[in-house]
């Protein structure tokens, strides 16, 4: 007698879906040979009883089966799994391509559409009016950009609107002034770079943002632009057309150059033991590991110690890949795991260089009752220069 298959065992292969996934991912899942290293590497496995089954997700994408349980929305696009994938599968890109398909099929999680609407109506994911975009610069001399400036200071949405990150933007403006750099911002005309649309997989809208911004930057005569956030840096460096004429730099790269050129000099000691948390979009996504450390090491009095998981092995804060805009329960946040990593080093200050990392790490350290202070590299530099660090 033939065995009757249980309904749960019946899997329908959908050729149409397979073709759409292959097209959306440019065939990137094809080389996956199902070793499961990605599932074992993914930090969700350290926080949840059921890890995010990345291997299964890749398998379903490979053979054209509908994705289940919204697993692709957990991914922070930290790319830790990609570092170890023996087949070089661009796993985060596959996750984003699957999200893009979910938008087309109407299957996005609650709350995600409202972030896109905020970007559409207000020009930022923070749901704040564009007229408040320059509110961060109170008390700091911030000129309007002109093509005669050395650089455009691209502040970014989070440092423009989030009160904690505004301090970092002010610190940077003061540092640029101290170094004698001629800089300016686009003021209320500064657009969102599109990172939230990228991370949440709304790639049709992202293309529109990029086109409009490229026109605006050309109109304004922008060439070198220095970003506060590694996310904005990544957008301009890797997702805008290579012939757009833009030369993006993350501010840690720019400060390292200013120090090398002798334009930034530290006279006062800053006596503290620091440990640096590598933001995923600076480190793994763009290979910028040395510059933030070079900036911190140039300050007399600083002792820099490394966490066990650093550089390419660094643990994600949990705020990338659009996860800043999706709730994560307390106790299930990647940054919660960083508390122990920092404590092991004995550092007084946890330093990073990304507004999302600052928000996630500060939350987790506070929740854990840790006395360790969280600072941005820019705040450490501004405090060392005595130009107003965290103000
Ligand atoms: S690590 Fe790479 S090859 Fe292995 S299952 Fe994951 S995606 Fe496939
Ligand atoms: S990119 Fe990071 S969060 Fe996403 S599956 Fe890989 S390890 Fe997990």
Q: Which of ligand 2's atoms lies nearest the C-alpha of 74?
A: 3
CA atoms within 13 A on the CB side of 265: 4
Q: For a ligand 2 pocket test, name from 46, 59, 316, 332 the mutation site with the most ligand atoms within 8 angstroms of its C-beta.
A: 316
Domains of the chain: 9-105 (1.10.1060), 112-258 (no CATH), 266-385 (3.40.50.10700)
pLDDT confidence of residue 389: 58
Q: Is 143 exposed, middle or buried (0-12, 13-18, 19+ CB in 10 A)?
A: middle
pLDDT confidence of residue 107: 85
Span from the CA of 185 to the centroid of ligand 2 (angstroms)? 34
pLDDT confidence of residue 9: 59
Contacts of 313 (CB under 8 A, 6+ apart): 80, 83
pLDDT confidence of residue 70: 84
CA atoms within 13 A on the CB side of 202: 23
Say which ligand is closest to the CA of 81: 2
Whole-structure pTM value: 0.95
Span from the CA of 69 to the centroid of ligand 1 (angstroms)? 20
Q: What single string gives the DSSP state of each residue in 111-131? A: THHHHHHHHHHHSSTT---GG
Is residue 237 within 6 Å of ligand 2 at its C-beta? no
Q: At what angle do helices 290-297 and 251-260 cross, to 10 degrees?
A: 50
Report the C-alpha gap between 169 and 158 in whole angstroms: 10
Looking up tokens 């720019």, which residue turns up?
Answer: 254
Tens digits of pLDDT across the chain (391 residues):
333 444 555 777 778 888 998 998 899 999 999 999 999 999 999 998 888 999 999 999 998 888 877 889 999 999 999 999 999 999 999 999 999 999 998 889 988 999 999 999 999 999 999 999 999 999 999 999 999 999 999 999 999 999 999 999 999 999 999 999 999 999 999 999 999 999 999 999 999 999 999 999 999 999 999 999 999 999 999 999 999 999 999 999 999 999 999 999 999 999 999 999 999 999 999 999 999 999 999 999 999 999 999 999 999 999 999 998 888 888 889 999 999 999 999 999 999 999 999 999 999 999 999 999 999 999 999 999 999 855 6
Q: Which residues line ligand 1 (CB under 6 A)?
A: 32-38, 54-55, 58, 85-87, 89, 91
Is residue 76 within 6 Å of ligand 2 at its C-beta? yes
Q: What angle do CA 167, 199, 313 make, to 5 degrees?
A: 75
Is 122 strand, coil or helix? Answer: helix
Quote the tokens at residue 210.
């990029």
Span from the CA of 220 to the centroid of ligand 2 (angstroms)? 37
Residue with the smallest CA separation from ligand 2 atom 2 is: 78
Residue with the smallest CA separation from ligand 2 atom 3 is: 75
Span from the CA of 88 to the centroid of ligand 2 (angstroms)? 14
Span from the CA of 80 to the centroid of ligand 1 (angstroms)? 12
Partners of 68 in beta bridges: none
Q: Which of ligand 1's atoms lies nearest the C-alpha of 87?
A: 3
Looking up tokens 């804060």, which residue turns up?
Answer: 317
């Amino acid at each position: 007698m033939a065995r009757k298959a249980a309904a749960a065992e019946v899997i329908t292969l959908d050729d149409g879906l397979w073709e759409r996934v292959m097209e959306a991912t440019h065939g990137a899942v094809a080389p996956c040979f199902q070793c499961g290293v990605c599932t074992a590497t993914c930090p969700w496995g350290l926080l949840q009883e059921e890890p995010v089954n990345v291997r299964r997700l890749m398998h379903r994408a490979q053979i054209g089966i509908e994705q289940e349980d919204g697993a692709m929305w957990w991914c922070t696009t930290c790319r830790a799994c990609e570092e170890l994938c023996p087949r070089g599968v661009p796993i985060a890109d596959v996750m984003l391509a699957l999200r893009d398909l979910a938008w087309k099929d109407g299957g996005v999680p609650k709350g995600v559409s409202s972030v896109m609407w905020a970007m559409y109506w207000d020009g930022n994911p923070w749901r704040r009016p564009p007229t408040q975009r320059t509110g961060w610069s109170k008390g700091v001399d911030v000129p309007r950009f002109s093509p005669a400036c050395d650089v455009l200071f691209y502040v970014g949405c989070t440092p423009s609107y989030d009160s904690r990150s505004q301090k970092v933007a002010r610190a940077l403006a003061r540092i640029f002034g101290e170094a004698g750099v001629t800089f300016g911002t686009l003021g209320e005309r500064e657009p969102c770079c599109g990172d939230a649309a990228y991370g949440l997989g709304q790639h049709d809208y992202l293309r529109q943002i990029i086109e409009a911004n490229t026109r605006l930057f050309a109109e304004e005569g922008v060439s070198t632009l220095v970003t506060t956030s590694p996310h904005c840096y990544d957008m301009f460096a890797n997702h805008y057309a290579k012939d757009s004429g833009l030369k993006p730099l993350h501010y840690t790269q720019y400060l390292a150059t200013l120090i090398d050129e002798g334009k930034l000099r530290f006279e006062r000691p800053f006596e503290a033991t620091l440990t640096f948390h590598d933001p995923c979009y600076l480190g793994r996504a763009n290979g910028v590991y040395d510059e933030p450390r070079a900036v911190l090491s140039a300050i007399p009095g600083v002792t820099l110690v490394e966490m066990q998981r650093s550089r390419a092995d660094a643990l994600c804060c949990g705020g990338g890949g659009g996860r800043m805009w999706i709730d994560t329960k307390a106790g299930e946040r990647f940054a919660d795991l960083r508390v122990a990593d920092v404590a092991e080093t004995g550092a007084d200050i946890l330093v990073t260089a990304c507004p999302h990392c600052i928000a996630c790490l500060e939350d987790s350290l506070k929740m854990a009752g840790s006395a360790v202070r969280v600072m941005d590299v820019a705040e450490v530099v501004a405090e060392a220069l005595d130009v107003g660090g965290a103000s």
